[in-house]
């Protein structure tokens, strides 16, 4: 059952949270779920609430800023936008199709057994500082989390500072660059405070995302007109081919490719050397071949994700 839920969560997600319906009745799990639910659009909140009557439920936040909520319920569900698919899974999304399942994402490999089997589990990648979080709740026996980051000492200080008076209830230890947090059973209020504290210490970007990149409209050549970041173009394929020709340098983070860096300007889109191509239509770009394949298959619509100096922008390209 959990496998079917995870198969509907996008591999491009930055945060994956899963829980059984029974676990959502436990204070520490309910508090963490409320925290995650607070970061989805209003249109998905009914679906997130429906998780409380689910056998299993999952929630994903994607790097493009789109959110997806997935639930599998025992009976009928009445939330707007919540649809039962052929696999018997109720899904609701905002802004992005689920795509490849999260279980196929290599960066979730260490968390996979917990995502599949734990009463409740979270796996997340953080923007600032660059860190990976795996958290597991096993009521009534307690909860634990591991946080892997390059600046382990600084991160430990942040977590301890934010935990403040909760520190006696949440033990923090460190092995190299990995922090290990353990807590005995927490009441709902304490669990909510601990969740907010740890998230604030780790990820101001979970609330805000990376800085937004606003690109000036070229309004020349292959770009006919712009309305904000929605650009109407003459040939989507030619534009993406130009991007693919310039994006040849892999960007490595923790030994894996997270984007392709431009080694030449793409004047038609106003892109410059060292801009990074991070995604096309919510699919992370990790190789030249992949980007060329996307360009060759382009039809009439694509969303191009660009990072410049840490700021991220998404250009909605529409061919007319």
Q: Is residue 54 part of a domain?
A: yes
Q: Digits of tens for pLDDT over the chain (320 positions)?
A: 788 888 888 877 777 888 888 888 777 677 677 766 666 776 777 888 788 778 888 888 765 554 566 666 666 567 777 888 888 888 877 755 556 677 777 778 888 888 888 888 888 776 545 667 777 777 666 777 787 776 555 667 777 776 766 666 777 887 777 778 787 666 656 666 666 666 655 554 444 456 778 889 987 789 999 988 889 999 999 999 999 999 999 988 656 687 899 999 999 999 999 999 988 876 778 888 989 988 888 888 888 989 998 788 889 899 97
Identify whether residues 118 and 251 lie together within a single domain. Answer: no
The answer to whether position 213 is within a domain reads no
Same domain, 187 and 87: yes
Of 208, 235, 257, which marks where a domain is finished? 208
What is d(CA 222, CA 215) in angstroms, rounded to the nearest whole number?
A: 16
Question: pLDDT by residue (tens digit) across 217-234?
Answer: 987 789 999 988 889 999
- Looking at the structure, do residues 12 and 123 belong to the same domain, yes or no? yes
Sheet containing strand 178-183, strands side by side:
83-84, 90-94, 67-73, 54-61, 15-20, 120-126, 131-137, 143-149, 178-183, 170-175
The number of beta carbons lying within 10 Å of the beta carbon of residue 69 is: 33
Please give the pLDDT value at position 267.
Answer: 93
List the domain range (segments joined by +) for residue 288.
Answer: 223-319
- As for how many domains the chain has, the answer is 2
Residues 51 and 148 reside in one and the same domain = yes
Does some domain include residue 218?
Answer: no
Rg (CA), the chain: 21
Instruction: Specify whether 197 is located in the same domain as 294.
Output: no
181 and 268 fall within a common domain: no
């Amino acid at each position: 059952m959990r496998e079917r839920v995870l198969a509907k969560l996008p591999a491009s997600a930055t945060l994956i949270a899963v829980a059984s319906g029974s676990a959502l009745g436990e204070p520490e799990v309910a508090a963490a779920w409320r925290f995650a639910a607070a970061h989805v659009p209003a249109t998905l909140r009914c679906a997130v609430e429906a998780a409380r009557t689910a056998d299993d439920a999952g929630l994903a936040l994607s790097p493009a800023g789109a959110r997806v909520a997935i639930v599998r319920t025992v009976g009928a569900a009445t939330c707007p936008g919540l649809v039962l698919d052929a696999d018997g899974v109720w899904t609701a999304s905002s802004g992005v199709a689920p795509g490849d399942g999260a279980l196929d994402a290599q960066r979730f490999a260490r968390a996979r057994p917990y995502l599949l089997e734990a009463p409740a589990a979270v796996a997340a990648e953080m923007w600032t500082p660059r860190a990976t979080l795996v958290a597991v709740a096993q009521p009534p026996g307690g909860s634990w989390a591991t946080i892997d980051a390059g600046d382990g000492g600084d991160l430990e200080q942040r977590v301890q500072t934010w935990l403040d008076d909760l520190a006696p209830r949440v033990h923090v230890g460190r092995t190299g660059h990995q922090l290990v947090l353990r807590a005995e059973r927490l009441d709902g209020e304490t669990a909510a405070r601990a969740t907010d504290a740890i998230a604030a210490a780790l990820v101001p970007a979970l609330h805000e995302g990376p800085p937004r990149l606003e690109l000036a409209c070229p309004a020349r050549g292959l770009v006919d007109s712009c309305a904000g970041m929605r650009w109407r173009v003459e040939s989507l394929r030619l534009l993406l081919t130009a991007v693919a020709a310039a994006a040849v340098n892999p960007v490595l983070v923790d030994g894996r490719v997270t984007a392709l860096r431009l080694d030449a300007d793409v004047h038609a889109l106003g892109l410059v050397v060292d801009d990074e191509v991070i995604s096309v239509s919510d699919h992370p770009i990790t190789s030249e071949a992949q980007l060329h394949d996307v360009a060759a298959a382009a039809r009439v619509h694509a969303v191009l994700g660009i990072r410049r100096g840490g700021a991220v922008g998404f250009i909605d390209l529409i061919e007319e």
